[in-house]
Amino acid sequence: MLDIVSQAVGRIFADENPAIEQMNDGGRGGEAEVIYHQDGRIITNNHVVARDDARVQIMLADGRKLNAKVLHRNPRLDLALLKVEAEQLKALPVGDSSQLRVGEWVFAIGHPWGQRWVMTAGIASRIRSVKLADDLTTQYIQSDVGLAPGNSGGPMLNADGQVVGINAMIFGGDLSVAIPSDVVKAWLAELPRRRTTLGVEITTVELPVAIRHQLQPERHTGVMIVGIREERQAHHNDLLLGDVVLEVAGAPVKGNADLLKLLAESEERNTILLRVLRGGQLVTLDVATVMRERNM
């Protein structure tokens, strides 16, 4: 019987390992992530991402290193959604955490204390509801699975190798806490299905000295349009290659992250006011936005 159990646990580790990543955001490092979908969507903890414009690099079990962008963060639930562009990604099967029972075997795979792809085991000891705020009550899975720094954001698996939680923290010695997979699913379902874009490719550039002094507040960089996507070309001709975006709705734009953040705050607008540098002149344009569907 012990041999059968040991072989089953070994299969879980071998099967699920390719869908678990190690993350480095430039300041932290060694935390875990879960490939949630083959299209490159990744789930981890909010507290390991740090900020919306974090430069995140992930390492796959096959040795590939990929850059990831932060799509959404939820500090209250301690969840973050990232995205990478890559082929041949393996996603972990997601289970129903409501079916998890106290006493069931659960497993964690992560990178405790920097040791890569380590597996630990334990039993589910409690599923508790916690009131985080007047408007938010959520659930956590408590277990005696061994966790350490480096396990955050990694999966809690059931005996079938399905993700039933995202490991989040440790309380009081051996008490480990995971965010149930049903909480993750509910959060993803609530995310906006559409986002406001300009339908362009961009890059951060240095501004001419003469232009810097004309801006308030003074700044050294802006965002140049280096490509216009098909969805914009088909309907609008108000932006040109080489335009440098300096402001969105009166707010300064110093780099790509500023522009993306300001557009995200302008959801569902049909037009938006931009101040751009065009042909050496500062001009103000009321440009059409482009709505893109999110794949959630």
* Residues annotated catalytic, as ranges: 47, 78, 152
**β-strand partners of 42:** 35, 82
Torsion angles phi and psi, residue 135, rounded to 5: -105, 10
Determine the residue type at 136: L
**β-strand partners of 23:** 31, 58
Dihedral (C-alpha) 168, 171, 174, 177: value to the nearest 10 degrees?
-30
Residues 183, 76 contacting (CB under 8 angstroms): no
Sequence-distant (6+) residues with CB within 8 A of 143 are 106, 122, 123, 124, 125, 156, 176, 178
**Burial of 52 by CB count in 10 Å (0-12 exposed, 13-18 middle, 19+ buried)?**
middle
DSSP single-letter state for residue 94: B
Residues 178, 167 contacting (CB under 8 angstroms): yes
Whose structure tokens read 């040791």?
Answer: 115
- SS3 for 228-259 is ECHHHHCCCCCCCCCCEEEEECCEECCCHHHH
